[in-house]
Amino acid sequence: MPNNKPILLLSGGGNQQSLWTELARDYTLAFLYPQAAQLAREMGCVEVISLDEMAHTNDVVEEVANSSAKLTSQIVTRLPDVLQTFKSIYADAGPAALDGQLNNWWAGYCLHHIQAALTRLEAMNQLTKQPIPIAGCVTHEDVAPDTRSLVSWAKAQGIPTIHLPHAACHLLPGSGTDIHRETRTDFIAASGLYMQNWYVGNGFDRKRIEIVGAPQWDGLYGEQLPGRTEARDVLHRDPNRLVLCYAATWGQTTSIRGEADREIDDGLAEMFKVAKDLDADLIIKIHPNDAQPADQYYAQALQLAKLNGLVTRWHTHYILRAADVVIAQGPSNLCVEAAILGTPSCYIPTEGFDFANDWSLPFHGADLHESVTRALASRGDPVWQDFIGYYNAGHPDGNASERALNYIRSIAQVKEPV
Amino acid sequence: MDAVKALAEQKNWEAAHQWFQAIPLMHRGVDLGDMMTYDVLRVLGRLTQADLQQKETADAEQQADPAA
């Protein structure tokens, strides 16, 4: 261990990145994501721990192998109980794979996940063997298994946990169960009033939520951003043509809401039709979380549609600056980012999700052509400023990182022994 | 959401949150069953979507050729 600064556990999500250099002044940073640890080192943070590196010691590997075998054997032994649980819930209407076929795959499926979980837990446990204390845990989400295990482990050790959500969730109240409504942390650093209200609406104590803004958007307020001309030049877009940006979504599959792949296919087809009607170029922005085959899927679709344009997963600032309007597949946080950069947006509605604001923007009618036309005419409308402010309390100063740092420091403190 | 889907969604939710209750899956104070909720929801969602699509296709074929 290189120093005596207390450890701060970090998931390593992209929305924490602007905090790392400052946090490294006070803490030894221990990252769940190995690529985040690597990036923090490249950014000049010296005291950095990668949990992934701690997971490959002989002790950890042996403990994981033994414990995962023991836990899985418990599942095998109790498989009739698992089957009975499924039967009591689904009666005879459940998926066939959960009924007569459960013996064929459930234990193996669990073993796979248990091994991964124990590797993380044992790596974190190695931290407790170090002579410096753990002051806190900051995560960008806590529903996926890796981040949930980070938070669950920290809570089991009595370490304060803070959720700095990487994005606002636009799931509507009353639209059914959803794992995104669950959070396990002690505190939330919310991006804006919307996010605070959303978590309170889902049962979280308002007093444990601090509105700090969205640190990942602070960079949108800098002076280093490309202008429209430069962005179009870089992306090889004609300065005089209409440019539409279609912001694609991704299938999270933790619920069966909506029409899944069919909805995405239909939305894209409608988008192509509008682009042709308006004789526009089309930039397809792939969601960063979408699987790799999406690149080929969208590139082929654009080619088949015989439209001018391009497909990319990255270069968000250039795309948003180059576009005349953004069209999102569902209510997307990219609409807020676009608005910060002065680009209007509209979106294709989807089941169970919507922006919660009462004002008129962004447009989302049944007729996409009309939505695009209205969005184009709304450039500069002051309502966009209200829209941004509701989702990002760091607007217009771009000071969310500073506010988030203060909040984290106020909570992640080492308690002196009584 | 239509009634069939809403019911399937609710059952998947219960299954993902309850399947492990008969088995103590604790390690270092962490409930591994709770930790796996996300993945179990995903697998149940995929299975349910496949079932619903299969039923939809069968219904469409039946409508097209009621004698079949």
Q: What is the pLDDT of residues A384-393, one digit of tens each?
A: 999 999 999 9
Chain A residues touching B49 at Cβ < 8 A: 253, 256, 260
pLDDT at A67 over 90: yes
Q: With CA atoms as reference, report the closest residue to A250 among A200, A287, A297, A215.
A: A287
Partner A contacted by B28 (CB < 8 A): yes
Shortest CA gap B60–chain A (Å): 16
Interface probe, candidates A64, A141, A255, chain B, greatest B C-beta count within 10 A? A255
In this predicted structure, the answer to whether residue A222 has a pLDDT above a threshold of 90 is no
Q: Running DSSP on this structure, what letter comes out for residue A174?
A: T
The pLDDT assigned to A259 comes to 78
Question: Is residue A212 pLDDT above 90, yes or no?
Answer: yes
Partners of residue A157 in chain B, C-beta under 8 Å? 29
Is there a contact between A152 and B35 (Cβ–Cβ < 8 Å)?
Answer: yes
Give the C-alpha separation, A140 to A280, whole Å: 37
Average pLDDT value for chain A: 94
> For residue A185, what pLDDT is reported?
98
User: Cα separation of A384 and A388, whole Å?
Assistant: 6
How far, in Å, CA of A151 to CA of A158, rounded? 10
CB contact (8 A) between residue A152 and residue B5 = no
Q: Where are the alpha helices (DSSP H) in A235-333?
A: 260-277, 293-304, 316-322
Confidence of residue A402 (pLDDT cuts 50, 70, 90): very high
- Interface pTM, i.e. ipTM: 0.91
Q: To 5 degrees, how large is the angle CA A352–CA A353–CA A356?
A: 125
Q: Which residues pair with A8 in a beta bridge?
A: A29, A136
Chain B positions in Cβ-Cβ contact with residue A78 (cut-off 8 Å): 22-23
Contact A31, A51 (CB under 8 A): yes
- Above 80 in pLDDT, residue A417? no
Distance between alpha carbon A141 and the CA centroid of its chain, in Å? 7
Q: Which of B2, B21, B27 to mutate to test the interface with A (most CBs of A within 10 A)?
A: B27
Return the pLDDT at A254. 86
Across the A/B interface, how many CB contacts are shorter than 8 Å?
Answer: 127
pTM for the model stands at 0.94
- Which residue is associated with the tokens 């939330």? A188
Residue A52's pLDDT band (cuts 50, 70, 90): very high
Residue of A nearest to B13 (CA): A177
Q: A70-129 pLDDT, tens per residue?
A: 999 999 999 999 999 999 999 988 888 887 789 999 999 999 999 999 999 999 999 999
Q: H or E element: which one contains B16? A: helix B3-18
CA nearest to B15, candidates A173, A174, A99, A184: A99
Q: What is the pLDDT of residues A321-353, one digit of tens each?
A: 999 999 999 999 999 999 999 999 999 999 999
Q: How are strands ordered across the β-sheet holding A309-312? A: A309-312, A281-285, A243-247, A325-329, A345-348
Candidates B1, B18, B35, B48, partner chain A, best to mutate (most A CBs within 10 A): B35
| Residues of A with Cβ-Cβ distance to B8 under 8 angstroms | 93, 256
Q: Which two tokens stand for residue A20?
A: 């790392």
Provide the pLDDT for residue A369.
97
How large is the average pLDDT for residues B20-31? 91
Burial A295-323, CB ≥16 within 10 A → b, else e: eebbeebbeebebbbbbbbebbbbbbbbb
Do B27 and A121 count as a contact with CB atoms less than 8 A apart? yes
Query: What is the nearest CA distance from B56 to chain A, expressed in angstroms?
Result: 12
Give the C-alpha separation, A222 to A209, whole Å.
27
The fraction of chain B above a pLDDT of 90, given in percent, is: 51
Interval A54-73 mean pLDDT = 95
A278 — pLDDT class (breaks 50, 70, 90): very high
Contact flag A256-B19 (C-beta cutoff 8 Å):
no
Of the candidates A277, A278, A246, A280, the residue with the CA atom closest to the CA atom of residue A264: A246
Of B15, B20, B31, the CB nearest to A89: B15
pLDDT for position A193: 97
The distance of A350 to chain B (nearest Cα, Å) reads 11
Q: What is the pLDDT of residue B67?
A: 75
Coil, strand or helix: which one is A356?
A: coil
- Cα separation values, A227 from A1, A61, A222, A282, A342, Å: 46, 51, 12, 19, 11
User: Tens digit of pLDDT for each residue in A354-374?
Assistant: 998 777 889 988 899 999 999
Tell me, what's the pLDDT at A383? Answer: 95
Nearest chain A residue to B31, by CA: A152
Mean pLDDT score of chain B: 89
Nearest Cα to A74, choosing from B67, B16, B26, B23?
B23
Among A32-41, A43-52, A168-177, B55-64, the minimum mean pLDDT is found in: B55-64
DSSP string covering A130-143: SSS-EEEEEES-SS
Contact call for A95 and B51, based on CB within 8 A: yes
Write the residue in B9, B11, B28 that is nearest to A121 by C-beta: B28
Q: What percent of chain B has pLDDT over 70?
A: 99
Most confident of A409-413, A414-418, B51-55: A409-413
